[in-house]
Chain A
């Protein structure tokens, strides 16, 4: 079985400060890892993914995430937060091998960026 944990329900950060949204995962074998963002009354939007290669992946809107295999983590980061980054963020995982194709999502972390 595959699972994702997002330990923080909410993260608060001031605009201009760096932000981190935490994610840990459990999966058999090597993982595909994803971050999605959900704005109010909007669908989930893809931010970035890790498949293989460099542990630091860069995505949309200046976000990046670091894959750490030994800690089974995939934390989302941004060097300088914007008020417009305020949204609900979901981490997701799927197995690299096998026929399973579904993504398993975490429960989400609400990011609140204030002036």
Chain B
């Protein structure tokens, strides 16, 4: 597709369960970002990939959160032992280039809304 695609658009789960959220970036974009947006807040940075490697994972809140991008395209955000406080919209964005060579404009998907009961 032409834009960033995220699935599922909505996910309801129970406390303690495991969740995977998928992001398919714009074709050819080497940089990929995950953000989390809670109600009434701005997007909060989680992790940034340049190619297959996580260049900056400083925003991951704890070790229950993990993300991969094995082939440098699709990325999966994984959340173990979900808690009610994990409820938020998880946004994925991609960019043609990251790091110092990139001008920082990000293209966002519509997000995956996670609700933990």
Contact = CB atoms under 8 A, between A and B. Distances in A.
Given A90-B43, A106-B42, A44 B103 contact: no
B91 A43 contact: yes
Contacts of A101: 31, 48, 50, 55-56, 98-100, 102, 104
B105 A46 contact: yes
A46 B105 CA distance: 7
Contact of A44 (B31, B40, B43, B48): B43
Interface string A34-50: 10100001111110010
Contacts of B44: 105
Interface in B84-117: 91, 93, 98-100, 102-111
B41 interface: yes
Contacts, number: 67
Interface of B: 4, 31, 33, 35, 40-45, 48, 50, 55-56, 59, 91, 93, 98-100, 102-111
17 contacts: A4-B42, A32-B104, A34-B104, A34-B105, A43-B4, A43-B108, A44-B91, A44-B106, A44-B108, A45-B108, A99-B99, A100-B56, A101-B31, A101-B48, A101-B99, A101-B102, A101-B104
A103 interface: yes
